[in-house]
Every structure is written in structure tokens, then in C-alpha cells.
Amino acid sequence: DAGVIQSPRHEVTEMGQEVTLRCKPISGHDYLFWYRQTMMRGLELLIYFNNNVPIDDSGMPEDRFSAKMPNASFSTLKIQPSEPRDSAVYFCASRGAVSRTDTQYFGPGTRLTVL
């Protein structure tokens, strides 16, 4: 079975540009999570969805960040305008509804560099 798919794997952009990160969760999973990983702050949960509905976006740093999940197999995280401090690795993860362990499975991540 395919795991969580993220694209692009690497993104280099200039300050002020719009950045869109994409995620396809594992088929049948109804929870989707967006994380950000930096050296300074470690892994931070930005937002998560259940059945395509945003449940908790308290980790989204500011209004420049937005996330959508138009259907069960696709989600985007958008940064507009981007800033150098947004440089990080962004992970998407998904979890199935019937899961004794609540295990989240992560995608390979998108390494974002904002110049």
C-alpha cells in the first residue's frame, strides 16, 4: 500500500512568494495532520483535519498560513507571503479511524527554503 505522499520534496523560493505544499494521505485514513520541524522548535503540530474538516488550527503560526482539505485524498498547506523564518521541513501525516494505537504515519516531508 502507498504511504503518505507529499510534493514537492524540496522547494526553494524567494521571500514574498506564495508556496503551496501538497499531501495525499493513506487511503481510508480520515485524520490528516500538518507538522513543521525546525532545529529550534522541533516538531510542531500546525493543524489537523478529521473527515476533511479542520479541527484544531491553534498551531498555525499566523494568517500567512492556511490549509485546506477539499476531499479525503488531498490537502494543501499554503504560505502567502513566505518569509525566511518559514524555512523548515513540513510533514504531513495521516491516521485511520479504527486504530487501537492512534498511530500517525508520516510522509517524506517537504524541505522548504525561503531566501
CB of 85 vs another protein, minimal distance in Å: 20
Closest CB to another protein among residues 63, 102: 102
What is the binding site for another protein (CB under 8 A)? 31, 42-43, 45, 48, 50, 55-56, 89, 91, 93, 100-109, 111
Tell the residue number behind the cell numbers 513543521, with chain if given.
Answer: 36
CB of 78 vs another protein, minimal distance in Å: 22
Give the whole-angstrom CA distance, residue 17 versus residue 37.
Answer: 21
CB of 55 vs another protein, minimal distance in Å: 6
Q: State how beta strands 110-114 and 88-96 pair.
A: antiparallel
Is the separation of the CB atoms in 8 and 77 below 8 Å? no
